[in-house]
Structure formats: structure tokens, C-alpha cells
Structure 1
Amino acid sequence: MATVSAKQNSGMSALSLVYCGMFATLMMIGANITLFVPFLVVGGVPITLQPFFSVLAGLILGSRLGAISMVVYMAVGLAGAPVFAKFQGGFAQILSPTFGFVISFILVAYIAGKIVEKNGSLRSYVISGLVTMVVSYLIGTNWMYFAYKFWVAAPDVFTYKVAWMWMVPPLPKDIILSVLAGIFGHRMYKVLKVRRGH
């Protein structure tokens, strides 16, 4: 069985790099899954799989490698590759109202990994998915609000309450994906016998 190993020093094994690259790639696909599955657009809101894969990265790879895989994803996008939602890319994306969610995925993977590193029960896996969903919403929604207010010049009717109301449509799917990520992550970890890189 394959294992992800983390060296005691600052280096990373070749297999660790492969796992990080794999999850970065899954994030790229998940950001634009509607290209392959068009019916995953509900009420004009595209259902991305980024929350699912970011949680899964932390659950399977652990806090350190999971977060690194999300940093790789973000770096590739900022370097210009069209890997963000709607095939966006480039350093200018840092000013995008939704870029806060990209940043949050790093913390999501780290926190998810930390939770299950301390307690490997199925309950902890599911809880980690739900907790990190809240973290993602807090960072992403606040970034979106301040982006619209300070550099996108949103009209006065756009309030903090409106920003949170925009998050209501994707909330049900994110709750479902968070729970599924916990269940799937627990099963995959036991099957793969992955030794997490802390």
C-alpha cells in the first residue's frame, strides 16, 4: 500500500510531492466541474467541488501536506494558469471578490488535518468537514464583502447582510459535501493506510 511520508527535516519525499500535486489537480478540476457536468448549476449557482477536495486533502494528507497542496493550487492560479472558477487565473485574481475562498482552502485543509490527527474516529472526520466549512464561509464571505465595498465599488444597497444572503443558495450543497468529505476521507484513509505528513 502507498504511504505518504514526511521527513523529519524540512524536505519532502517524492511521493509526498505527488500527493500534493494530485490534490492541487483535483482542486483545478473541481473549480470548473460544471464544464464536464453542466447540470451541476442550480439556480444559476455553479456547484464546485473545491470545498470537498480541500477538506479531503487535509483529512487524507494531514495538516501540513494538505495545506501545502492548497498553496500549490493557489500559486499555480496566481502564476497565470486558468485553474480558478470560470477558468480564471493570474495575479489580478487576488482582487477578485471570491479570492477569499481560495485563501480559505489552505486553512481548511490545515484545520481538517489537525482535527483528525488528534482523533481518528468517523465522528471527528465529519465534524472536521463541518467546522472547516464554517471557516471557509467566514473568510470567503468577509473577503467578498470588503472587496465589493472597497475596490469593486458595489452600490450602497450591498450590505454585510446581503453578502451573507448570497451564501444561502450554495449552503445546502456545502453541508452535504462537507459530511460526505468526512465519511469518504475516513474510509479512504483506512483503505490507503496513509501516514500523514504533519
Structure 2
Amino acid sequence: MKTYEIVVCALFAALMAIGANVSPFLTIGGVPVTLQLMFAILAGGLLGSRLGSFSMMAYVCIGLAGAPVFAQFKGGPASILSPTFGFVLSFIAVAYATGKLLSEPAKKAAYLYTGAVVILLNYVIGTHYMYAAFRWWAEAPQGFSYAVAWSWMAAYLPLDLAVIALSLAAVPKIRLALSKRSVYIIKE
């Protein structure tokens, strides 16, 4: 990797840590509300699939190593046992998919398609992990089922769709602003 690539990956790993803790104590149904989805989309959209996903992997590794970078200032290997850790893992896939789908100058339809893929990846990976965690090692609430796990996500859907739309709308504008200032943009 080039020095510039290492720096921008570290920058997006740091932005994820900030985004995880913008509202450290705002939770809905035990799940913290964060801006991590936005930074995962921006990482993939601006850095490309390889570096975007690498920056998200770096973020996960930093958190698992013990730095308090996950939501609510948590970190360490025990984070794997958290029912919401699947959403953290999904950010790697979100950044990769965003980078792949927006690697060429995209039309508006590509952004809509990317948004659909992003929400699917985030929810499928995160919700399945949450369901498995509650079933196998976490204390499941009374009456918890697969349908309940998915119904919990309905509370987040409007916010997540708004974040996805704003993030995807920002990608071409940021790319254009960086290209006008002769800032190096990574192409895959």
C-alpha cells in the first residue's frame, strides 16, 4: 500500500470511531443510534471497494484490540458477544459493495441500486447475527423470535434510509470537489 492509501484508510477508521459515538447514549430497543452506516458508505464510495473495506476492517480490528471505538465507547474481544456486533461486521461488506457498485461514473439508477444493496447487507448480516446472539449466548427477551428480531429493525428503517440517501448523494459531490482541488482520488 502507498502511504496516501494507509493515511486515508486510517482516516476512515477514525471517522467510524467518531460516528459510532456521536450520540453515545441514544438507543432504540437496546441498539445504539450511530452514523457508522454513513461513514461505511462514504469509505466505499470515495476510496473504492478494496480500500473502503480495508478501512472498515481496520476499524473492527482496532475495536477488537481493546480501543473503545465501538458504539457507547466499547471495545475489546468481548464485543464479539454483543448482539449488535453483526452490524459492525456488516460495515465491511457495505463499504466493499458501495465501492464496487459506484466504481464507474454512475447514473442515478446505480445509486438507487446501491442504496438497496447497502440496506440489505446491513440488515441481513446485522439482524441474523443479532438473532443468533440472542438465541445462543445473550439473554433473549421474553417472546423473542426471528420475526421479533426483524420487527425491531422497522424502528431504524426510516433513519437508515435517510442516512443512505444523504450519504449516496454526497459521494459524487465530494468526488467532484476533490477532483477540482487536484486531491488524489483513489481509483480501482
Q: Give the match for residue 3 of structure 2.
A: 14
8 Å Cα contact 1:52/1:177 also seen in 2: yes
Runs ≥4 residues deviating over 4 A:
40-46
Counterpart amino acid of 1:113?
Answer: G
Q: Give the match for residue 189 of structure 1.
A: 175
Give 1:183 deviation, angstroms.
Answer: 0.5
8 Å Cα contact 1:59/1:112 also seen in 2: yes
Work out whether 1:32 is the aligned partner of 2:21.
yes
After superposing the two structures, state which structure 1 stretch, 66-75 or 40-49, moved more.
Answer: 40-49
- CA offsets, 1:7-58, max 9 Å, x none? xxxxx111111111111111001111015xx7x6678864310011101100
Work out whether 1:77 is the aligned partner of 2:63.
yes
User: Partners in 1 of 2:173 and 2:113 — Cα distance?
Assistant: 15
For normalisation by structure 1, the TM-score amounts to: 0.85
Identity within the alignment, %: 47
User: Partners in 2 of 1:100 and 1:46 — Cα distance?
Assistant: 13
Q: Give the match for residue 158 of structure 1.
A: 144
Q: 1:127 to 1:187 in 2, by over 3 A?
A: farther
8 Å Cα contact 2:29/2:152 also seen in 1: no
Give 1:151 deviation, angstroms.
Answer: 0.9
Query: Which residues of structure 2 form unaligned runs of 5+?
Result: none
RMSD: 2.0
Q: How does 1:74-153 map to 2 (within 5 A)?
A: 74-153=60-139
Q: 1:41 to 1:145 in 2, by over 3 A?
A: closer
Q: How many residues align?
A: 184
Structure having greater relative contact order (Cα 8 Å, sep ≥ 6): 1
Counterpart amino acid of 1:172?
Answer: P
User: Partners in 2 of 1:134 and 1:119 — Cα distance?
Assistant: 23
Work out whether 1:58 is the aligned partner of 2:44.
yes
Give 1:117 deviation, angstroms.
Answer: 1.1
Give 1:130 deviation, angstroms.
Answer: 3.2
For normalisation by structure 2, the TM-score amounts to: 0.90
SS, match of residue 68 in structure 2? coil
User: Partners in 2 of 1:87 and 1:177 — Cα distance?
Assistant: 22
- CA offsets, 1:35-85, max 9 Å, x none? 5xx7x6678864310011101100000000000000010000000000001
Q: Give the match for residue 9 of structure 1.
A: none
8 Å Cα contact 1:122/1:182 also seen in 2: no
Give 1:125 deviation, angstroms.
Answer: 3.1
8 Å Cα contact 1:67/1:106 also seen in 2: yes
Q: Give the match for residue 7 of structure 1.
A: none
User: Partners in 2 of 1:103 and 1:140 — Cα distance?
Assistant: 8
